[in-house]
Structure 1
Amino acid sequence: MKRIVSFGILASTVLAFASPVLAQTIFVSTQLRPIEEATVVREELLQDVGDVDYVVEEPPQFAVRMEAERQAGKHTVSLVGALHGELSPLADKNALEPLDDLAKKLAAGGMPQAVLDLGKLGKPNQQYIPWMQATYVMAARKEALQYLPAGTDVNALSYDQLIEWGKKMQEATGQPQIGFPAGPKGLMARYFQGYFYPSFTGGVVRTFQGAEAAAGWEKLKALWAFVTPNSTNYDFMQEPLAAGEVMVAWDHIARLKNAISASPDDYVVFPAPSGPKGRGYMPVVAGLAIPKGSPDKAGATKVIEHLTTPDVQLMTASRVGFFPTLNVKLPEDLDPGVALLAGAVTATQTSKDALISLLPVGLGDKGGEFNKVYMDAFQRIILRNEPVGDVLKAQAATLTKLMADTKARCWAPDARSDGPCPVQ
């Protein structure tokens, strides 16, 4: 890293593109949605690039809007910013403009070809331009380090060590000191898909209900004894960390950044724990794409070129905690908190037991239903203490139907499939 949906939604969308097209370049993004981040985009990252209307949408609404405009053949959106897996359905429907010329310029300007190739989405032409990247890490207040089990390397933490650490902190303070973003808008589903399941089973979909998954859930039960019950209210872990409500937390780097940047000397940042199958982690790549029928293709191209310049990429890292896709060196005077996060990302990527788990691909507008399978399992097993085997069997049936309905093939770390990814 240092080198770096409903009828109502559909109806409102139809009304939107039935209205006169505005003069601005309409830029719709599923990323940088929180008001603080969206303000940075509007007032800083898009400064001096023209008249751009930055519109944020939740992934389900984004999928419905783009499909409605595609089917109607009337377009208001000139540029989209979304995750790799959110752009894949658009590419599958041949709904994106090829961006080969832009990709060649960026390759010459320092964007690694391996990163650019992600934007092809398995097709001959460039479907999107990689915009920014991130992942999830753990952070701890330094006073928590005194309770680390003897001989533990925080950068090579195991689940057993995390459990012992949590136990020692709770015994010393009288309160559970570990926190997760399990609130309504938290990213806990990504923990299960990118970290927990890969670490314990080596997969996400195929391995959903096997013996290894059951053993993993039992281990999570043991860990949850030392997790604050308030976790079900937390959406961003930076607030409870900064307030001293927890000493140790897992979250997306952008949702830890404010606390760590405000007091970098108070924290350590490190990879998530490893399980029997390795140290699962989820690289998050967001891309910029131009929908076919874009009313302002030239303006959209200009915005992409602007957002992928070295200065703006570094500003993005500094201001919102998403790292460059360009191969640029982070400056020596970089925000110390961002530097801490960058170090943890590097430690994660270079861990000898690192196991990459990609974001879901091919689910279309069913991504929310996919997340719900894992969150329902969590609520039933961990919060309600229902029998692990019974819950996994029921949720596996839901997952099997979802994969069949979407025809989504397996993605890493699951082995490839010719048809819908099977739940074994």
Structure 2
Amino acid sequence: MAIPRSPASAQLSRRDVLRWGLALGAAAPLLSACGGVSTSGGGGDGALTFLSTQFTPVEEAERVRGILKDAYPGRVSYVVGDSSQAGTQVRSQVSSGDVRINLLGGLHGDFTPLAGDNLEDLSDLMRELSDKGYSSNLQELAKAGTDRTWYIPWAQATYLLAVKKSALEHLPSGADVKALTYDQYLDWAIAARRANGGKAQFGLPAGPKGLLHRFLQGHLYPSYTGALVTAFRSDDAVTMWKYLKELWANTTPASTNFDFMQEPLAAGQVTVAWDHAARLVGAPQAAPDDWMMVPAPAGPKGRGYMTVVLGLGIPKGAPHADKAKDVIKALSQPKTQIELLRQNAFFPTVKAEIPADLPPAIRLEADAVRAQQEAPNGILSLPPVGLGKRDGEMSKIFRDAFTAIVLEGADVRRTLDSQAKNMKTILDEVKVPCWAPDPVVPGQTCAVG
């Protein structure tokens, strides 16, 4: 999904906008139709077949092919397809005993339904790559709720805070902007508003196309409850919603019109804002030295953060599995992941030094992404997994709760009880396990708590 053109992003080329639009993993990825893979054991001429649900637009795919050519000495045929078709192909080939896909690339949610019966156990490979610096959260995620590794984390996108350095003068005494708590964040918002004659300086993407629901799902809920679905109407959730009401009282009311926070940030309407990295990239373009990108705050349970994880796996029984593992090793090299960041704007999952010649916004964000990922109290969250076309309805539950509780002053407990019924209806229909930060129990339908 390409980022719409806007005044703040007009300095970016169309190619840049498309590249950063791909990073919006919170929305459905751009996927082309998946053609059948007909060659036996590879993509022809001895090439390995690499089927990917990611980087599917023509320009994106060509850049991945170039990265593969530089990183791996063998021949690899990079084939793109959508998630449902890729999963169907893998299951069909594994079931028939005629596996022709050597390597699979996709989202975490593409791998979890295939884990076990349809993917090779990559635990040994994960141990071999342990020196690459994968976070413990990503390593645990790749196990899909089991004790074995089913994919190797490949790349990621996430959400951050953009901070105009001039706002730091209002930071509470003793607070570290790179390791904030939500209490400090609120105190900061209050101080900034008071210092500006009562005009709020903080913003949230609460517009019609904004990603406020991801702030709730992946940041506030985990930080205050340690979970999401299983703690949706808990006492801790009630505390969180009361906090959000107070934060909103010190957030600019115009936030209900903000879809992409880079626009009000660049225009000086706000000086501090949370959003997806792709929707913040335009803010520092004119004067990058005036900006910081930092991790989201932490709550009583930890530093909740949402990430979109891409992985690399091998279908069970795939031929040339050793060569497929060599491709994974090549794509796991820091310099190769930096090239993917440079070319397609997805951040490394391995520890990698960010070169000075990257665009300033990407450098700022890359450092913040790593700091957030490595936070000792980090709680990794994912967008909903396995909901399919019902995903939008799940998002609406959180937005509706926000409208009722924060904007209209409805009772917190009664609102959560009401919305919990809507959530239960969705989960009872799709019958999927929970996803991070909730406990993942394969085969057990996620239950609202």
- Please give the TM-score of this superposition, normalised by the length of structure 2: 0.70
* Farther-moved stretch of structure 1 (256-265 vs 388-397): 256-265
Instruction: After TM superposition, list the pairs within 5 Å mapping 1:325-404 onto structure 2.
Output: 325-331=349-355, 335-349=359-373, 351=375, 354-359=377-382, 363-365=386-388, 366-404=390-428
Compute the displacement of 1:222 (Å): 1.8
Over residues 160-187 of structure 1, what are the superposed CA-to-partner deviations in whole Å (9 max), with x where a residue is unaligned?
3333333343441664332223445543
Distance 1:51 1:351, change over 3 A: closer
Compute the displacement of 1:205 (Å): 1.7
Distance 1:104 1:198, change over 3 A: closer
Compute the displacement of 1:197 (Å): 0.8
Could you list the runs of 5+ residues in structure 1 that have no partner in the other structure? 1-11
Compute the displacement of 1:332 (Å): 5.7
| 1:148 to 2:194 alignment | no
Compute the displacement of 1:124 (Å): 7.4
Q: AA paired with 2:402?
A: F
Instruction: After TM superposition, list the pairs within 5 Å mapping 1:23-172 onto structure 2.
Output: 27-29=51-53, 39=59, 42-43=62-63, 46=66, 49=69, 62=83, 64-66=84-86, 81-91=105-115, 94-96=117-119, 98=120, 100=122, 103=125, 107=129, 110=132, 112=134, 118-122=141-145, 127-171=150-194, 172=196
- Given that 1:263 and 1:337 are in contact with CA atoms closer than 8 Å, whether structure 2 keeps it comes out as no
Could you list the runs of 5+ residues in structure 2 that have no partner in the other structure? 1-30, 70-74
Over residues 212-233 of structure 1, what are the superposed CA-to-partner deviations in whole Å (9 max), with x where a residue is unaligned?
2122112212212333445445
Residue matched to 2:228 = 204
Which structure exhibits the higher relative contact order, with contacts defined as CA atoms closer than 8 Å and separated by 6 or more residues? Answer: 1
Residue matched to 2:347 = 323
Over residues 61-96 of structure 1, what are the superposed CA-to-partner deviations in whole Å (9 max), with x where a residue is unaligned?
x3x44456568879999865433234212336x444
CA separation in 2, counterparts of 1:277 and 1:109?
29
Distance 1:229 1:369, change over 3 A: same
Residue matched to 1:272 = 296
Distance 1:347 1:118, change over 3 A: closer
Compute the displacement of 1:154 (Å): 1.9
CA separation in 1, counterparts of 2:61 and 2:77?
10
- Given that 2:304 and 2:381 are in contact with CA atoms closer than 8 Å, whether structure 1 keeps it comes out as no
RMSD: 4.5
| 1:288 to 2:312 alignment | yes
SS at the partner of 2:293?
strand
SS at the partner of 2:269?
coil
SS at the partner of 2:189?
helix
- Given that 1:142 and 1:268 are in contact with CA atoms closer than 8 Å, whether structure 2 keeps it comes out as yes
CA separation in 2, counterparts of 1:332 and 1:71?
44
Q: AA paired with 1:395?
A: Q
- Given that 1:262 and 1:337 are in contact with CA atoms closer than 8 Å, whether structure 2 keeps it comes out as no
CA separation in 2, counterparts of 1:387 and 1:260?
39
* Farther-moved stretch of structure 1 (132-141 vs 283-292): 283-292
Distance 1:182 1:78, change over 3 A: farther
- Given that 2:314 and 2:321 are in contact with CA atoms closer than 8 Å, whether structure 1 keeps it comes out as yes
| 1:422 to 2:444 alignment | no
Q: How many pairs does the alignment contain?
A: 401
Instruction: Answer 1 or 2: which has greater helix percent.
Output: 1
SS at the partner of 1:135?
strand
Distance 1:307 1:137, change over 3 A: same
- Please give the TM-score of this superposition, normalised by the length of structure 1: 0.73
Compute the displacement of 1:261 (Å): 6.1
CA separation in 2, counterparts of 1:287 and 1:19?
20
SS at the partner of 1:288?
strand
* Farther-moved stretch of structure 1 (121-130 vs 389-398): 121-130
